[in-house]
Amino acid sequence: MTETQTVTVPHLGGTQVGYRMPEPLDGSKPTLVMVNSFSTSADLYTPQFEDEGLKNSANLIAIELFGHGQTRSPSEQFTYWDTAIANLQVMDALGIEKAFVLGTSQGGWVAARMALLAPERVLGIIPLGTSMDYESKRSHDLGCWNGDEACSPVIEQFSAPVGDDWTVPGEFTDFILSAGIGGPTSEEQRQHWHKLHRQDYSGDAGRRRLLMAAINLRDRDGLHGRLAYITCPVLWMHGTADQVYSVANAQEEIALFTNSKDAKVQVVEGGQHFLSASHPDDVNAAAAEFIGTWS
Is 187 among the domain residues? no
Is 22 among the domain residues? yes
* pLDDT band at residue 4 under the 50/70/90 scheme: very high
* pLDDT band at residue 2 under the 50/70/90 scheme: confident
pLDDT, mean of residues 32-60: 97
Is 59 among the domain residues? yes
The DSSP call for residue 64 is P
Q: Are 154 and 216 in contact (CB under 8 A)?
A: no
pLDDT, mean of residues 176-199: 95
CB burial of residue 150 (10 Å; 0-12, 13-18, 19+): middle
Residue 170 has pLDDT above 90, yes or no: yes
Is 167 among the domain residues? no
* Residue-averaged pLDDT of the chain: 97
CB burial of residue 293 (10 Å; 0-12, 13-18, 19+): exposed
pLDDT, mean of residues 166-183: 96
Residue 133 has pLDDT above 90, yes or no: yes
Instruction: Give the tens place of pLDDT for each residue, 208-265.
Output: 999 999 999 999 999 999 999 999 999 999 999 999 999 999 999 999 999 999 999 9
- Beta-bridged to residue 72, according to DSSP, are 16
% of the chain surpassing 70 pLDDT: 100
Is 254 among the domain residues? yes
Residue 1 has pLDDT above 80, yes or no: no
Is 201 among the domain residues? no
What is the Cβ-side half-sphere exposure of residue 61, based on CA atoms within 13 angstroms?
Answer: 29
% of the chain surpassing 90 pLDDT: 99
pLDDT, mean of residues 55-61: 97
Is 45 among the domain residues? yes
Instruction: Give the tens place of pLDDT for each residue, 96-121.
Output: 999 999 999 999 999 999 999 999 99
pLDDT at 34: 99
* Cα angle value 171/172/175 (rounded, 5°): 85
Is 117 among the domain residues? yes
What is the number of structural domains in the chain? 1
The dihedral through the CA atoms of 72, 75, 78, 81 has a sign that is negative
Residue 282 has pLDDT above 90, yes or no: yes
Instruction: Give the tens place of pLDDT for each residue, 68-94.
Output: 999 999 999 999 999 999 999 999 999
CATH code at position 19: 3.40.50.1820
Residue 67 has pLDDT above 90, yes or no: yes
Domain span at 45: 5-144+222-294
Distances (CA, A) of 246 to 93, 142, 144: 36, 7, 5
